[in-house]
Chains A and B, each alone.
Chain A
Amino acid sequence: MPDAVPTWEEVARDHGRFLYNVAYRLAGNDADARDLVQEALVRVRRGLVSYTPGSLEGWLARIVTNVFLDEVRRRKRRVTVALPENPDTVLPASPGADAAAGDLSDEVQAALGSLPDEFRVAVVLCDVVGLSYDEIAAQQQVPVGTVRSRIHRGRRMLREALS
């Protein structure tokens, strides 16, 4: 039965690493990434009831991205916590605590973490997950032109941050 809906355990076991990678690229640190994965798996379990077999990783990417953006919004609403200097980057990358220093990928991760959240999401979905512009637009419920703009501006900012 090739198109059977996976169980929660199968998703966690077979796609947990994928979820963690996307979560880490969005959040920029291990602790937040683990939280995002756990919350995403809660939503996966709820969503499996109505899941239609298709692009499972695309579906998972949408879930973990939505968890990330929800968490960003939640933190922005918290008035008791001081906001960071740039309110558009509420979950800034802090790879230094989690990985060896001097790694080129750490520099890229740090640059990624400096992007405004919506740009970060766009480039991660495009260049890390490998979704098409149409898929990202459908997932984020924005016009394709907005996706195009976010990806381009995100890449340009990334380049500036790396130079």
Chain B
Amino acid sequence: MNGRALPDDVLSAYLDGECTPAERVAVEARLAADPRWRAELEAVRGARDALRRLPRREPPAGFLESLLTGVAASGRTGPSSAPAVDELAAARRARRARGSALAAAAAAAAVAVAVAVAVATPEGGGGQEVSPAIAQLSQTHAATAGLEVDPVSGVAPAAVPVELRR
């Protein structure tokens, strides 16, 4: 086999019209003389055609609509829809990553920290209100925590908005 001067990957380029005129001449000369090259060309052509014949794979019904609906429901459209899109993706990633007691424990710990931070008042004003109510947050978490639901995405929305009302 005298293919050193003409690497066989030029065959795909030849098929795709991606080789130089000089390469094309050389490939055609080689094809005329070498049955193994002809076989290789047909093998590569078969693979290429199989890929090109693949039908467009359609997304599951409602998938794209759910993305758009999620953004619309957030009340943020156009450029301001960014956070909603991020949240959808983050929630989905979190769902995919869930499934361990460790994750649930970590989420519960995160809530505990969030609650502790919210309750602690740097100025010592023990009677300050917090928003949303800690009790409500705790109940929400208690109702949704566990391995049956995504612990991370279920907790995050409850923990993040907590801030002291001055």
Interface residues of A (CB under 8 A from B): 7-9, 12-13, 16-17, 20-21, 24-25, 30-31, 33-35, 37-39, 41-42, 45-46, 48-49, 105, 108-109, 112, 123-124, 126-128, 132-133, 148-149, 151-153, 155-156, 158-159, 162
Contacts and interface: CB of A to CB of B under 8 A. Distances in A.
Contact of A25 (B7, B48, B54, B82): B54
B29 interface: no
17 contacts: A7-B78, A9-B78, A9-B81, A16-B64, A24-B57, A34-B92, A39-B89, A41-B67, A41-B89, A49-B79, A105-B55, A123-B47, A123-B51, A133-B18, A155-B48, A156-B47, A159-B47
Contacts of A156: 40, 43-44, 47
Contacts of B67: 12, 16, 37-38, 41
Q: Is the interface of B mostly helix, strand, loop or mixed?
A: helix
Contacts of B88: 38
B134 interface: no
Interface string B41-55: 001101110111111
B164 to A, nearest CB: 31
Contacts of B71: 8-9, 12
Nearest to A31: B96
Nearest to A157: B47
A108 B18 contact: no
Given A7-B78, A152-B11, A153-B9, 7 more contacts: A20-B63, A21-B58, A108-B54, A123-B51, A152-B9, A156-B43, A159-B47
B3 interface: no
A108 B82 contact: no
**In the complex, which range does the number of interface residues on chain B fall in?**
35 or more
A37 B59 contact: yes
Contact of B12 (A12, A45, A155): A155
Contact of A42 (B46, B60, B89): B89
Interface of B: 7-13, 16, 18, 40, 43-44, 46-48, 50-60, 63-64, 67-68, 71, 77-79, 81-82, 85-86, 88-89, 92-93, 96
A127 B48 CA distance: 7
Nearest to A132: B18
Contacts of A151: 9, 12, 16
B89 A17 contact: no
Given A9-B71, A45-B81, A108-B51, A38 B8 contact: no
